[in-house]
Amino acid sequence: MTIIPGYWSVSGVTFFVFCVFAIAAVGYALGRITIKGVSLGTAGVFIVALLFGCFFYDSLGGQLMAGGETFVSDALKSIENLGLMFFVTAVGFIAGPSFVGNFKKNFKSYVLLGLIIIIAGGLTCVACDVIGRNFSDLSAEEHTAMLVGLMSGSLTSTPAFSAAKETVGSANLENIVSVGHGIAYLFGVIGVVLFVQLVPKFVKADMAKERELIKVAPSKKSGAKVSKLIAMDEFGIMPFAVAVILGVLVGSIKFGNFSLTTTGGCLLVSLIFGHFSRIGRISITPEASTLKVFRELGLMLFLIGAGVAGGASFVEYFEAIYFVYGILMTIIPMIIGFIFAKYVLKLSLLNNLGSITGGMTSTPALGTLINVSGTEDVANSYAATYPVALVAVVLVSQLIILLA
């Protein structure tokens, strides 16, 4: 039965939804496989989504009749964006009660670490660009566009990706930026996920002790739960929805070419909601169980949307040397950031790793770190470092292009 002639059918859309849930089921099963205490966790969903995109993307579009590929592309982007909204809004609410106290305590550390990580990524990008262009068939402009795309992918930064495309100035260079982003995105996700799992094992961390070190008392404003607060609904979905609406509006405000984007806007608004927790006698904080479900659901949807779309172009444009550049741009900033945070800033292990997930703007890695650490307090560090890294990576991407 065709609903809109020549565009999509009920059976086709049902098949699309079926594929989304099939990817989730197989991905979570893959994520449970543990080798020497290390597992992919939710990132297993990303691997399965990527493989699905590599081998079945065309057939998925074919199931939706004429115009199906356009529908699939739009649908995957919608799933990815919806997942990001769910995830970062839930993280903001979770981090909100302790965020202000934690941020005041470590303000300089978060700013410095966010800048150090992004600057290290930028310098690695420049080095790969200068050295690699001598061995590339691309022109100097094309090679720079490719490397900046690789940097945005290695840092899993959509704002940097968008800013780079706007700055390069031609459709051809925009396409090259997109290719670079897609090539590096795979390791950008997996690399940080593995890093936050392996480091605690290498240093033989006592997680119970580390959880105590990162624990921050809730702010007095948000911690005082007045009795008989009026809840708008049983699970707190209404305040969650309001936070998303306001977050989208805040994220759409532009300052020149820069904006917080939907991700940054939702994170900021939900942090504020989580901090104050109520307006008069009206509760504006969802139930903890609701937030956990939205956080995990959001992460799953984000990984499926990004993974299937990325897999569709990964094989076509893959070149080993570009993949290596992406690996370097993921690993070097993390190592430099970890050493700087540990020995210069003297941050505790979980504070350190939480800040690195924010500095690398890595949504999946935060989800993994929460599971590895056994505490959601690491979200405070992510939320504090993320805005600094968000602004810095956009500026660094544009600067590299303009000065190349």
Q: Are 382 and 355 in contact (CB under 8 A)?
A: yes
Whether pLDDT at 332 is above 60: yes
User: Taking a C-beta distance cutoff of 8 angstroms, is the pair 125, 184 a contact?
Assistant: no
- H or E element in which residue 73 lies: helix 68-132
Q: Which of 118, 131, 145, 114 is nearest to 329 (CA)?
A: 118
Query: Is residue 221 over pLDDT 70?
Result: no
User: pTM higher than 0.85 for the full model?
Assistant: no
Closest CA to 193 of 368, 372, 389: 368
Q: Point out which residues pair with 258 in neighbouring strands.
A: 255
**Predicted pLDDT of residue 222:** 46
Q: Residues 80-127: pLDDT tens digits?
A: 889 888 988 998 898 778 777 767 777 888 889 999 999 999 999 999
- Binning pLDDT at 50, 70 and 90, where does residue 305 land? confident
Q: Pick from 329, 271, 338: which is nearest to 113 by CA? A: 338
Q: How does pLDDT run across 19-60, given as a tens digit for each residue?
A: 899 999 999 999 888 877 767 777 788 889 888 988 887 777
Is the model more confident about 68 or about 396? 396
- Rounded to an integer, what distance in angstroms lies between the CA atom of residue 130 and that of residue 121? 14
Q: Are 117 and 360 in contact (CB under 8 A)?
A: yes
Lowest mean pLDDT among 140-149, 156-165, 234-243, 363-372: 156-165
Which whole number is the average pLDDT over 175-181?
Answer: 78
In terms of pLDDT, which residue wins out, 263 or 5? 263
Return the pLDDT at 227: 59
> Helix, strand, or coil here: 63?
coil
| Residue 163 to residue 236: CA distance in whole angstroms | 35
* In contact, 64 and 325? CB cutoff 8 Å: no
Q: How far is CA 55 from CA 51, 61, 80, 293, 307, in A?
A: 6, 12, 20, 30, 12
Strands (E), 191-325: 254-255, 258-259, 278-279, 282-283
Supply the pLDDT for residue 219. Answer: 56
Q: What residue spans define the domains of the chain?
A: 2-403
Give the model's pLDDT for residue 357: 92
Per-residue pLDDT tens digits for 62-88? 555 445 567 777 888 889 889 888 988
For the domain with range 2-403, which CATH number is right: 1.20.1530, 1.10.760, 3.40.50, 2.60.40? Answer: 1.20.1530
Question: Would the pLDDT of 223 be above 60?
Answer: no
DSSP secondary structure, 283-302, as one string: E----HHHHHHHHHHHHHHH
Residue 275 pLDDT greater than 60, yes or no: yes
Whether the per-residue pLDDT at 264 is higher than 90: the answer is no
pLDDT of the residue at 246 = 95
Spatial CB neighbours of 214, under 8 Å, sequence gap ≥ 6 = 348, 350, 351, 354, 373, 375, 377, 378, 380, 381
- What's the CA gap between 396 and 260, in Å, rounded? 16
Which one has a higher pLDDT value, 267 or 339? 339
Q: Is the pLDDT of residue 337 over 90?
A: yes
Q: Express as a percent the part of the chain with pLDDT over 90.
A: 23
Separation between Cα atoms, residue 159 and residue 198, nearest integer Å: 28
pLDDT of residue 199: 92
Residue-level pLDDT at 340: 94
What's the helix, strand, coil split of the chain in %, to 5? 80, 5, 20
Better pLDDT: 374 or 25: 25
Place 291 in a pLDDT band, splitting at 50, 70 and 90: very high
| pLDDT of amino acid 61 | 61
What was the pLDDT predicted at 2?
39
Query: Is the confidence at residue 220, as pLDDT, over 70?
Result: no
- Distance in angstroms (rounded) separating the CA atoms of residues 100 and 147: 37
Taken in order 248, 250, 251, 254, the sign of the CA dihedral is positive
Q: Is the distance from CB of 263 to CB of 158 less than 8 angstroms?
A: yes
* pLDDT (tens digit per residue) in 308-317: 877 776 666 6
What CA–CA distance (Å, rounded) separates 59 from 311? 13
Of 365, 371, 373, the residue nearest 207 (C-alpha): 373
